[in-house]
Structure 1
Amino acid sequence: MIPWDRISEDRMSQSGFHLRSMQPEDRDEIARLIYHSTNAYYESIGRDRIFQGDELQPGEMFDVYQQIDPGEGIVAVDDATQQIIGSCFVHPRETHFSLGIMNAHADHFGRGVARTILAEIIRRAQEQQKPIRLVSSCFNLDSYSLYTRAGFVPFATYQDMFLEVPEAGLPFDPPNDIGVRPAELSDIDAIRELEQQVSGITRVSDYRYFIENPDGLWTGF
């Protein structure tokens, strides 16, 4: 973890805001920021709001990431109001940095909030001599521009797929030579080796969190 007080003074104040690490007490404010800034973007391009209902719903993201990567996320705070106007979850791993959900408050577009947060993440990754990976939606041209201007290059395309599975399950059995069972902590080394072979990265803290499942949200196989 790189604590906020290691962010140098020239990065601490940019256009009337400063950066610091996420703290547990930021949960609700970050949840609201994610909820409203994401909905504002989708509405601006003529699409339906992606979040519905309780504005604290995205707090589940904060809870998960705080358990896996406590203190690694970054927030931008307005100097005058102390309002959180930007946030990004950061996931340092053995082989790379993963850049998580980036949000900037709709009322503060144009102040360089996301750009400044991204620059700090790049600095941290360079300090540890690790590459940065991210998954970005093709629908969001603003974020695509942000990342490409910072030097990111797309190298793979993913297509979202939604499959409706009957409550009783699919009407066929798996191949005889393939067994499926719940993942166990003793599987972590094998999972790490498999992902290293497939994609060239490892994420041991992620495997451990999903297998231990402290929040009862996940099932791993």
Structure 2
Amino acid sequence: MVVRPLNSGEVDAVAELIHRATNDWYRKSLGREIFSGRPRDCRIFPETYEALDPGCGLVVELDGKLAGVCFYHPRETHIGLGIMAVAPEFAGQGIARMLVDAVLKESGSLPVRLVSSAMNLDSYSLYTRAGFGPVMAYQDMRMPTDEPLPPLTTTSGTVRAATTADLFPMVDLEEKLAGIRRAKDLAHFIQNPGGHWRTMVHRDSSGKIDGWLSSVDHAGCRMIGPGVMEDDLVALALLHAQLSAPRGGLPVFLVPTHESYMVSELYRWGARNVELHLLQVRGPYTQPTGLVMPSFLPESG
């Protein structure tokens, strides 16, 4: 087996591998598929990761076939470990551990962060054996229909679309509230290459940005996140605005399980739980002072 960088001509093969491997696990474990579209829809993962971090996609080749893939994201404060997939026919051969070890070798002294399913005990064991530990739990939620949402019971400040002038206030806010910094990701969201990203900011009564929330609306990934907010009222205002925007499908969003008021409000809106995820970190971790909503694209916790 050989671990090597992803070649540009392998994007379709990697998209097919992500689609097939992920659906295989969900079908066997949870009785459903997570990707309902075509395999090529999953091109959004390698295309986004390679646009942000060229050369940071890794594949395992076995007998001339792609057996596994993962992506990592060097950032100012940490390394983000992105989506990982192993072909079902090569399961149990240590491929995922080879990929994790390769990423850890690249990380040096920086912490490594990832968001993984709490319902996949194989991946949980993989990461904890490699020195990761769970530090935050999230419930994946989704609205059952695209019917209009009930009005917010409490409003504070205003929500608007993010602009390039908001970039560094947003970057600084995430560092202040969550302890991580990733200007490259936020610039990508605001610039909106491909036309499927939407980013909103919340401003308090003085005009200061006290929260932001991005989303992706693509056949391969419909998700609201990432974002950070000073408190749950800001988070609800931003999420309400994102959910009220026109979309091609119903998005998933991750909410910290301990945010009881936000969760109860989302239930009032009609939201339902669809899965559980864990933020896992290898290395130093600072507990957030605000509210964090992660995503899987790009993944950084």
* TM norm structure 1: 0.84
Residue 182 (structure 2) aligns with: 203
Instruction: Mark the CA change 1:174 to 1:218 in structure 2 (over 3 Å): closer, same or farther.
Output: farther
Is 1:56 paired with 2:40?
yes
Extract structure 1 runs of 4+ deviating beyond 4 A: 164-170
Residue 159 (structure 1) aligns with: 139
Residue 217 (structure 1) aligns with: 196
Aligned amino acid, residue 151 of structure 1: G
Number of equivalenced pairs: 200
SS in 2 for 1:215: helix
- 1:82-120 Cα offsets, whole Å, 9 max, x none, are 211100011111000001111111111122111001001
CA distance in 1, matches of 2:144, 2:23: 26
CA RMSD of aligned residues (A): 1.8
Q: Which structure carries more strand by proportion? A: 2
SS in 2 for 1:194: helix
Is 1:35 paired with 2:19?
yes
Aligned pairs for 1:107-126 (under 5 A) are 107-126=89-108
Aligned amino acid, residue 98 of structure 1: G
Aligned amino acid, residue 190 of structure 1: P
- Which runs of no fewer than 5 residues in structure 2 stay unpaired? 201-301
Aligned pairs for 1:31-180 (under 5 A) are 31-78=15-62, 80=63, 82-126=64-108, 129-163=109-143, 170-171=150-151, 175=155, 177-180=156-159
Instruction: Mark the CA change 1:174 to 1:188 in structure 2 (over 3 Å): closer, same or farther.
Output: farther
Aligned amino acid, residue 9 of structure 2: E
CA distance in 1, matches of 2:145, 2:20: 31
CA contact (8 A) 2:68 2:87 kept: yes
* TM norm structure 2: 0.63
Instruction: Mark the CA change 1:39 to 1:197 in structure 2 (over 3 Å): closer, same or farther.
Output: same
Instruction: Mark the CA change 1:170 to 1:216 in structure 2 (over 3 Å): closer, same or farther.
Output: farther
Identity among equivalent positions (%) equals 38
CA distance in 1, matches of 2:30, 2:135: 28
